[in-house]
A and B are shown apart, each in its own frame.
Chain A
Amino acid sequence: MIRHTAPRGVRRAVTVAAALAATALVITGCTSSDTPSDEPVEITFWTWLPDIQTTVDKFEEAHPNITVKVENVGVGIDEYTKIQNAVDAGSGGPDVAHMTYDAIPAFALTGALADLTQTGGESISDTFLPGVVSLVQFGDAIYGVPQDFGPGVMYYREDLFTAAGVEVPTTWDEYATAAEQLHAANPNAYITYLEPGLVDAPYMGLWQLGAKPWTIENGTDLTLDLQSEEALQWADYWTELNNAGLTLESVQGSDEWFKQMGDGQIATWVVGAWGLQALTGVLPQNEGLWRVAPQPVWNEGDTGTSQWGGSASVVLAQSEKQEAATEFALWVNGSEEGVASLRDDQGLLPTTNAVWEDPAFIDEEIAYLGGQQARQIFAQSAQDTVVGWSWTPFQPYIGSVYKDTVGQAISNKTSIAEGFKAWQDRIAEYAEEQGFTVTIAD
């Protein structure tokens, strides 16, 4: 099944290309019957990973017929705006783009992304972790090759817990108790921080609780449920800690926040596993002080975790080189060599089944975490991710008005549940404006 034709019948290097393709197929477990054309193609790749050229060079070495032009057009929403502009204009976009999971539905549902099961990516669901594949799969179509992900874990300052003689919490109840004990033992220490603008915190919390704050049916019917039992459970829990003065208001990633983390003012950080990169990168002086534990659960015996962050490589529907683009995305994120480069050159947490079955990877002792075999905890979290969380096609908007509503409640130490209500109202207003039929669940 050859979808692209090789018009000038160039056959010189066909054997080489076929051999390479065979290798690639074996490595990725790809079952595509596409014969890669040996005609030189150039694809454009938009990403904001700073050192990606190293990985791209390795790809080009293995694929002499494909040249990859890397362009950094901005991080997150900046890139998405440019992609949206290109989609509106009908051309001008990249062939492959880096996209966080929360942004994919908006582009997938409006037809901006290529269905990779039609362009050589049939193997994706077998190659990658099921919990991650579910973030790029809509119906039978797959709109991205998973690149990295953020299984939820809890990083904590072992020195603070030891000094205060406090047990490391495994449930949220224990976490609240630990919050009191830690702060009582050391008035400068807080169990964690709350950020009025950080929408990822409730995303992660609601995901773990199995909440469905937004559900879209038939493509146009939106049901909002930010007053569900689960949503209120999360809201009231944090209202209580916040009002008791057991949390610190801070902005994650700011200089001040890193200072608080480094100084031992913040005792835990519940975050995607990638948090380790931030800690090692910005707080090298803290080596040996931090440890990782599973994300706390609501009830003793629960195992469900949630995720925070992570990206896929998507192929644009307007690309005229979708096969080459898919081949590139599959190699970078799924081949043994590509995955090794993601891990070692990019510092990312790969998402293939193969790598998470590899003892050398899972059992590696992480010096920064005092020699803990941290990836075992990551792997467990990856397996235990609660299934069923979904994103809307207008997630950036939902995130942007969080600070206007819930953020106010956090800063003013008022009811976060009330903040959720205000948040829901803003989302409903917006969705109606966008043509959705909105129902507020009761």
Chain B
Amino acid sequence: MTAPTALVDVAASTRRRRPSAKLRASRIAYAFLLPFIVVFTLTIVVPLGYALVISFFKKQLIGGTVFVGIDNYVRALGDTLLHDGVLRVLLFFVVQVPIMLLIAVLAALAIDSGRLAGSRIVRIGLFLPYAVPAVVAALMWGYIFGGRFGLAGQVFGFFGVPAPDFLGPGLMLGSVGNIVTWSFVGYNMLIFYAALRSIPEEVYEAAAIDGAGEFRKAWSIKLPALRPALTLALIFSVIGSLQLFNEPSILQALRPSVITTNYTPNLYAYSLSFMGGQTNYAAAIAVLLGGLTVVIAYVVQLGVARRDRFV
């Protein structure tokens, strides 16, 4: 007699308890998430929303703030100064990013091969520049490249040749690319290296049994395994290139006529906002630039995904 009752009781209590346990679990989950949600909302969602809102207004010295709809966006689409900047960072992306990623992949493969003496030191050494703040890096390279008394000038002078003007109009973008490459090779190398470390040992053993050498292994196992990491690194690089700001901003102080106010879109938005008080237009540019970044990142991802299907 008592047993069924007890069973019913247990069943009833579990039925009761299950949802409440679930609720409690999700409550706990949200409690853990709360700090993130709060910070994310305050530092990402709110500023983004604010930028979007103010991009539909226009503040004038004469006339104050008025709602102008999409005027700022229309203006941006026809703004040749902005176009110059966008084309410049796209060129930067097309040239600098492949070089940087190639170096990073080669470095990751070399370190992962296990045949590199002192690979730990190489790994840390390559990564170290990433720990140097961009501002410091730009200042340092600015000194190295600096015309008459910079390190490059001294080295060239030692050989009796005049140093090329690294910060001149012709080479400036290349010099910026050099600084960015120096800073980010180690970071990307680490992403790739982590991906390589996640390849199971068994795959290599199987390959070894099939008679594959190190190069064959690199080509047929390691490189395909790097594809997701490559996508990730590419997307980071898309963002980094389009948002280029720190390096040109620092070098501007050294070469004001080479790095103009619209050298990169971000620099342009900054000048508009902080020198010209055109915060609304700058916000529209920022929103457009964000949109462009998303589009390019999506195309990159699609491209890589489509290739995946053919494999």
Contact = CB atoms under 8 A, between A and B. Distances in A.
A411 B254 contact: no
A400 B261 contact: yes
A407 B256 contact: yes
A251 B256 CA distance: 8
A15 interface: no
A397 interface: yes
Nearest to A393: B61
Contact of A256 (B60, B148, B258, B271): B148
Interface string A69-104: 000000001000100100000000000000000000
Given A259-B149, A433-B60, A434-B62, A77 B257 contact: no
Given A400-B261, A403-B261, A435-B61, A394 B254 contact: no
Contacts of B278: 433
Given A404-B260, A404-B262, A254 B253 contact: yes
Nearest to A81: B274
Interface string A400-442: 1101100110110000000000000000001001111000000
Given A251-B254, A256-B149, A411-B258, A396 B61 contact: no
A400 B61 CA distance: 18
A397 B277 contact: yes
B147 A403 contact: no
Given A196-B256, A401-B261, A411-B257, A435 B276 contact: no
A419 B260 CA distance: 14
Contacts of A403: 256-257, 260-261
Contact of A435 (B62, B258, B261, B277): B62
Contact of B60 (A84, A255, A411, A434): A434
Contacts of A408: 257, 260
Nearest to A436: B62
Interface of B: 60-63, 143, 146-149, 169, 252-258, 260-262, 271, 274-278
Interface of A: 77, 81, 84, 106, 110, 195-198, 219-220, 251, 254-256, 259, 393-394, 396-397, 399-401, 403-404, 407-408, 410-411, 430, 433-436
22 contacts: A77-B275, A106-B61, A196-B256, A197-B257, A198-B256, A220-B62, A254-B254, A256-B147, A256-B148, A256-B149, A394-B61, A397-B275, A400-B271, A404-B260, A408-B257, A410-B257, A411-B169, A411-B257, A434-B62, A435-B60, A435-B61, A436-B62
